[in-house]
Amino acid sequence: MSHHPRAGEPAEPADLIDVPKVISRYYTEHPDPAQPGQGVAFGTSGHRGSSLRTAFTEDHIAATSQAIVEYRREQGTTGPLFLGRDTHALSEPAMITALEVFAANEVTVLIDSRDGYTPTPALSHAILTHNRSAKAKADGVVVTPSHNPPDDGGFKYNPPDGGPAGTDATGWIQDRANALIAAGLKDVRRVTAAAARASESVQGYDYLATYVDDLPSVIDVDAIRDAGVRIGADPLGGASVAYWGAIAERHRLDLTVVNPLVDPRFGFMTLDWDGKIRMDCSSPYAMASLIARRDRFQIATGNDADADRHGIVTPDGGLMNPNHYLAVAIAYLYSSRDGWPSGAGVGKTLVSSSMIDRVAADLGRRLDEVPVGFKWFVPGLLDGSIGFGGEESAGASFLRRDGGPWSTDKDGIILDLLASEILAVTGRTPSEHYRELTARFGEPAYARIDAPATRDEKAILARLSPSQVTASTLAGEPITAVLTTAPANGAAIGGLKVVTESGWFAARPSGTEDVYKIYAESFRGPDHLARVQEEARAVVSAALSG
């Protein structure tokens, strides 16, 4: 994968978005759902797009909000709807549009009482907190495109289980929203913004205090404070910006908010691998400025714009690969959380490192391997049948210290704080712990690359069956498994995974580009990984042509 010549360098004025233009297009552009890229399309994390491409407009959000009203009514969800937003330029206007629709439909909406930003995990935590004791169940909406570039907007629905909505819900909402747009929004109920804010159905909720005050139930903050761990936290201009200062004050931690600025252009960022501004806290290019200051802190951390992802930086290891940190977190948590159910398994996606498999086996814990998408971890985190669920893209959550559910959506804040807890309790950084794991289990080489594919080829790849793979070996080793469904739940993975004793690859079609993604790993080093990747292309090409 080629990198932009300025990747990792500070953004310049020419890299920044024109905020008035982005916002004006939100109001003036009108999508045609029949045109590719202009309809409402829920991916693994809601509907996302740019107003500059007529993919995220007032029409999209009005229709989607009305569809959510109708969906929750059909599901018998009669409690309040928690509504929050991140710091992207389109998040404020989209939240106002949603508020106008929800208020017109007499839905009780809980917005931030401080008029601040709301991280995704704080909204999930709020839903679960309400639903523990209330008969009328709550759900929620987060207005965020996560780590996407500054001109993007995003709109994500979380049902009463607190996690990302499943395909049954998102498919219904998406189809209804597109039908409403096609009909000219005539069935969308809406009031003015002033009327919405004055409505008795719109109320305040202190997301920040409720979340921050409850952190000791999931993280050993006393150990962090007593050890005096010196922490640097970079919100990357996102929704966690006020939370980190509150965490430092409330729990008396030696914690510095490295960058307290909020700018919808995200002009303080360093450019990502492709020269774009992207708040990806797992990218060494987007995190370059924090990595450069790692010697000032014992643990430095980053979050994306809605704080559902984590980035861990240590003085001895720099920015940790997300797969490496997941393995360390799992090894530590299952060895230290005495209050967790003894039968709680380990949740991972099919494209996460097999180091996790080896750690889980060593712990004597069941491994639950699921398709890509955090929604697959929601039932297990809710009922305690898994203690930890994590994705290779730096998203994870885990149970409270007593074994109860904390959040059923990704929580980058607690994963960041866990790194400090690990250092405080063990005296070693997470990167030191990972080196110990590699000494015991071997050192894997892991990478993701893209390969070209037409729209038809991507559709075939998403529907492959194991019988269509004719190869018997991969990179010199016998193939031990060919998977098109997940071992944990039998759900389709939307692609293919091929496994050998010391390596594997998974191929999945991209939802936005004419490529498919090849995830691959080898415990025999980079050269063997290259062979796995090369032969993966051949295996997929043969299956597609067959």
> How many whole angstroms from its chain centre is CA 407?
13
Q: Is 2 marked active-site?
A: no
Strand partners, 139: 81
Helix (H, G, I), strand (E, B) or coil at 242: helix
Amino acid symbol at 368: D
Residue of 31, 35, 84, 19 whose CA lies nearest to 62: 31
Return all residues near 478 (Cβ < 8 A) that are at least 6 apart: 472, 500, 501
Determine contact, residues 270/10, Cβ cutoff 8 Å.
yes
Structure tokens given for 344:
């709680």
Query: How far apart, in Å, are the Cα atoms of 228 and each of 251, 314, 515?
Result: 12, 16, 47
* CA 338/CA 236 separation, integer angstroms: 34
Other beta carbons within 10 angstroms of residue 32's beta carbon come to: 12
Determine contact, residues 211/243, Cβ cutoff 8 Å.
yes
Residue of 387, 393, 396 whose CA lies nearest to 363: 387
Q: Which of 146, 283, 354, 420 is catalytic?
A: 146
Q: Rounded to the nearest 5°, which phi and psi values hold at 118?
A: -125, 110
Determine contact, residues 410/391, Cβ cutoff 8 Å.
yes
* CA 339/CA 359 separation, integer angstroms: 20
Determine contact, residues 154/143, Cβ cutoff 8 Å.
yes
217: DSSP letter: G
Other beta carbons within 10 angstroms of residue 1's beta carbon come to: 8
Other beta carbons within 10 angstroms of residue 225's beta carbon come to: 16
Starting from the edge strand earliest in sequence, which strands make up the sheet with 445-452, in order? 445-452, 515-522, 503-509, 492-499, 481-485
Helix (H, G, I), strand (E, B) or coil at 70: helix
Other beta carbons within 10 angstroms of residue 289's beta carbon come to: 18
Catalytic sites, residue numbers: 146
